[in-house]
Amino acid sequence: MTPAEYFKWEAQQEQRYEYLDGEVYAMAGGSLAHADIVLNFAMALKSQLRGSGYRVLSSGCKLGISEDGLFTYPDVSVTCDDRDKSATQFTQHPKLIIEVLSPSTEAYDRGGKFALYRQLESLEEYVLVGSETQTVEVFRRMADGSWAFLPDEMGDVRLESVDVTVTISAIYDDLVL
């Protein structure tokens, strides 16, 4: 399937699909905790970035690694690129991507998907959030292009890419894991 065929086909589907190398993959349904974490994190970012020129996008917004794919649905992404502000089908220039881990997708989010996301020159931070335990892992692109893992200290989560700090309590607000 070509990207154009994928966009046309997916628009007629009831569920969302990721696109990689001409193949489509159904998106797994998330738990209620997963949905709450996505909403909490997106709301915390949105409230702090309001009026700053940043665009906070949630899991219903498609991201393209290139014009030819991978096309995926990150749980939360943040962009300030003018090209993304006028995009209609998908964004391509996020500074920050957040994925909430599910047992069925954790290995892919940590491995293959992160490898694909690292191809995005604009990406400065990648955050993995636990949905079964309160864990937040931040990976940050360093000046030399390498990626550094910043250990979870279970306090504030500092996101330098967007100059925001989010507390663990805000991410897991109203959740019992």
Report yes or no on 23 lying in a domain. Answer: no
User: Is residue 13 situated within a structural domain?
Assistant: no
47-56 long-range contacts, Cβ below 8 Å, gap at least 24? 48/164, 48/166, 49/78, 49/162, 49/164, 52/80, 53/80, 54/78, 54/79, 54/80, 54/95, 54/162, 55/79, 55/80, 55/84, 55/85, 55/91
Kindly report whether the global pTM for this prediction surpasses the value 0.75.
yes
- Residue 5 domain-assigned (yes or no): no
Question: With a cut of 70, which residues of the chain have pLDDT below it?
Answer: 152-154
C-alpha Rg value of the chain to the nearest Å: 16
Could you give the CA distance from residue 149 to residue 138 in angstroms, rounded to a whole number? 6
Give the model's pLDDT for residue 67. Answer: 86
**pLDDT value at position 177?**
78
CATH number at residue 112: 3.90.1570.10
Query: What is the identity of the amino acid at 121?
Result: E
In a domain, 75, yes or no: yes
Tens-place pLDDT, residues 148-169 = 998 766 679 999 999 999 999 9
As a dihedral over the C-alpha atoms of residue 114, residue 118, residue 119, residue 125, rounded to 10 degrees, the angle is 120
Q: What's the number of domains the chain is made of? A: 1
pLDDT of residue 104: 87
Segment 121-146, tens digit of pLDDT:
999 999 999 999 999 999 999 999 99
Range of the domain at 145: 30-171
